[in-house]
Amino acid sequence: MDYLKDLNPQQLEAATTTEGYVRVVAGAGSGKTKTLTARYLYLVDQLGISTANILCVTFTNKAAAEMKKRIRRTLPDQDLGRITTFHGFCVGLLKEDCHVVQYPTTFIVLDEEDKEAMLRTVFEDLGITSRDLTVKEAIDHIGWRKGGRGYVKTLIGSPEKLLTLSSEAATLKDKVMYRYFYEQRKCYGLDFDDLIYFALYILEQDKDTREKWQNRLEYIMVDEFQDIDKDQYSLADILSGYHKNLFVVGDPDQTIYTWRGADVKFILEFDSRHENVKTIYLNTNYRSVPQILTASNALIDKNRERLKKQLTAVRPDARKPLYFHAKTGQLEADWITANMRAIHEGGVPYSDMGVLYRAHYVSRAVEESLIRNKIPYVLYSGVEFYKRKEIKDVLCYLRMIYSGDDVSFLRTVNEPRRGVGRTRISALKEFSALNQCSLYEALKTNLETELFRRCRAKDYVRLIEKYRAIFDGMDLTDLLAGILNESGYEDMLRSCGEEERLDNLAELKQAIYDFERKAGEEVTLGNYLDHAALFTNMDQTEKAQAVKLMTIHAAKGLEFPVVFLCGMSEGIFPGKRANTRERLEEERRLCYVAFTRAKDRLYLSDAAGTNYDGSFRYPSRFLFNAEKENVEYAVPLDPDLEERAMEQIRKTEDLSSRPEQPSDLVGKRVLHPVFGEGTVIGIPRGQEGVIIQFDTIVTPRTFGPTAKITYLA
């Protein structure tokens, strides 16, 4: 039993407590995976339980693979197929029991690209353009309509019925949804949402199937329980309904996925929802030095929705987290890279360093400083700033004004859509080849032909020609603002709800402003395009010894000897959308996750200035939440700045103290005495009530808490 020897008393208790409902509250770096692995081995190796009768659910395939790898060291010949994700388990259940809903075992699982391709076919068949509806809007609509799970009975019906529902639908979104269902039904395709919803439907509707799985799964373990949604919770609860051996592991202080359905209450209230629950705390942290944990404990203790605990360190004392308040974003970035270089010269490889931030756009200044200082880096869970689609699109607009090359033309002429599709592009290419001219010149020559009079190509030419005539006398920031506004590009992103891309454009505006300010009289459009090209063309082939850049969400589950947490400003982290206590507490949990990724050294930084809405950038409240005595200040904060920051934070804390309404109403069908039937599509921000999309009305309506609305079963 070597796998039990290295466990501390709390880990050992968790690994050997096999019966009943068990909740393990496992703090960051407390050996959660080690404990889960030991428990699985104990069940099989010591108690003799068959692996076929144990279900262990992890949240990622990577985590499942890591756990299998550890277990195979002791049990090399065992079938570990039920160490899997929720979706992986549901595929197995459906392969065995999809006959209950008259589906063949040869059903296919649709990925995101499959969904988009299917919807593009639907759009083409129904004659829908992006002016009417975007694919993203359709996917979002289908997703929340599926959230109620009542759709399963409709989807498993006859294809002809789905076509009828599509033709009779009162709204365009529902027309597309039912036609998408038809395309799914034709090929027996199930997307990721369907896997769990179908499994639940079968378990809830078919007693024999439910009892078979309940009897088979004698022990169920669920990892990362703080991040499960209501459907995953229901699945675990149903499957454990006979043997009642449900072992859940998680940390409510690390619940950071409520935006995709996670609810911290599932782990907080586990003991009140189940009988005779045993709770075990894993509070010994093996990852971080004591000073990092002291700041982390102080930070998270400001949250109300949590199980009180204090992480304790086993590692020796080291340096406190170091904080730097910079005057500008570039100075913040340069401070980060200067510390990186000094640490590296002290013998720490760049690959041991991670730069974390709340959103991708924050990385721009750091990327530029890394490039200037020739420090290798790799950006995870996203593309490098100047390679992001929206940034390249806008730079190509600038290039169209400056040079009019074919690459920029093809990227911008139909972005936003102006009806210049494949047929018209093919005609331009043919004309260009015959007349030895650029595609843009070909378009200008052919604007009055029958082929191009029927599209909005004239608008594009008018925009380019206007700014070609005046850009020499304009500030680059004004030029960019004019293009974004008059091209419709910014409006397109706004109408599609592409908030992260809008944030990236705002960061580009800041980058151009910074460039103008530094370059002085040498500022020209050509100079700036050359400047940007240096960043986009950097050779990034050698990544073995590279700094890692990523969002905090992407860093969940990872650790680094050295962590730089940048952009610690109000309005960035926490973001402006954190306008309720629940959202603010999630942001604080996210900051706690960032702190606890660091093993040896933690660097915190922010920059003065203004946010994109004009508000002043104060240091983040999370810095103050960690308590001043727990953080070393590289430069003392100006007392007046600190006082104004605290006053601003107090005001926003008061505004956000009102609890947020539950979101489980979204997707519910309702009946109004005048408007008829509809569906709840949202909760009005900052007030009580619901937003409803009625079947017979094009736009939604917002209702207060006293409205006469009947919720349908």
Of 357, 284, 291, which is closest to residue 319 (Cα–Cα)?
291
Of 206, 148, 202, which is closest to residue 177 (Cα–Cα)?
148
Tokens of 327: 């005057």
Please state the φ and ψ torsions of residue 580, each to the nearest 5 degrees: -130, 165
Distance CA 228, CA 218 (A): 21
Distance CA 135, CA 701 (A): 23
Of 368, 383, 355, which is closest to residue 549 (Cα–Cα)?
355
Tell me how crowded residue 654 is: count the other CB atoms within 10 A of its CB.
9
Place of tokens 């004009």: 614
Distance CA 227, CA 220 (A): 17
Of 335, 285, 289, which is closest to residue 312 (Cα–Cα)?
285
Tell me how crowded residue 218 is: count the other CB atoms within 10 A of its CB.
18
Choose, from 10, 23, 32, 39, the residue flagged as catalytic: 32
**Is the Cβ–Cβ distance between 695 and 171 less than 8 Å?**
yes
Of 671, 664, 682, 681, which is closest to residue 712 (Cα–Cα)?
671
Q: Is 68 a catalytic residue?
A: no
Distance CA 464, CA 479 (A): 11
Place of tokens 């065995």: 96
Strand boundaries in 174-302, DSSP class E: 189-191, 219-222, 246-250, 278-282, 284-285
Please state the φ and ψ torsions of residue 587, each to the nearest 5 degrees: -60, -40
540 CB-side CA count, 13 A: 17
526 CB-side CA count, 13 A: 5
Burial 126-150 (b: 16+ CB within 10 A, else e): eebeeeebbbebbbebbeebbbebb
Q: Is 454 a catalytic residue?
A: no
**Is the Cβ–Cβ distance between 627 and 602 less than 8 Å?**
no
Tokens of 490: 């910014």
Burial class for 496, CB neighbours closer than 10 Å (0-12, 13-18, 19+): middle
Distance CA 281, CA 27 (A): 8
Positive or negative torsion for Cα 554, 558, 562, 568: positive
**Is the Cβ–Cβ distance between 183 and 121 less than 8 Å?**
yes
Tell me how crowded residue 591 is: count the other CB atoms within 10 A of its CB.
28
Choose, from 97, 174, 224, 253, the residue flagged as catalytic: 224
Choose, from 16, 33, 154, 328, the residue flagged as catalytic: 33
Tokens of 446: 């052919």
**Is the Cβ–Cβ distance between 690 and 709 less than 8 Å?**
yes
What letter would DSSP give residue 132? T
Q: Is 224 a catalytic residue?
A: yes
| 327 torsion bin: left (phi>0), alpha (psi -120 to 50), beta (else) | alpha
Tokens of 546: 């590279």
Tell me how crowded residue 228 is: count the other CB atoms within 10 A of its CB.
26
Tell me how crowded residue 433 is: count the other CB atoms within 10 A of its CB.
10
Choose, from 34, 115, 210, 597, the residue flagged as catalytic: 597
Distance CA 98, CA 193 (A): 16
Choose, from 10, 84, 214, 254, the residue flagged as catalytic: 254
Tokens of 503: 């944030």
Choose, from 97, 183, 194, 223, the residue flagged as catalytic: 223
Helix, coil or strand: residue 550: strand
Q: Is 660 a catalytic residue?
A: no
Catalytic center residues: 32-33, 223-224, 254, 597
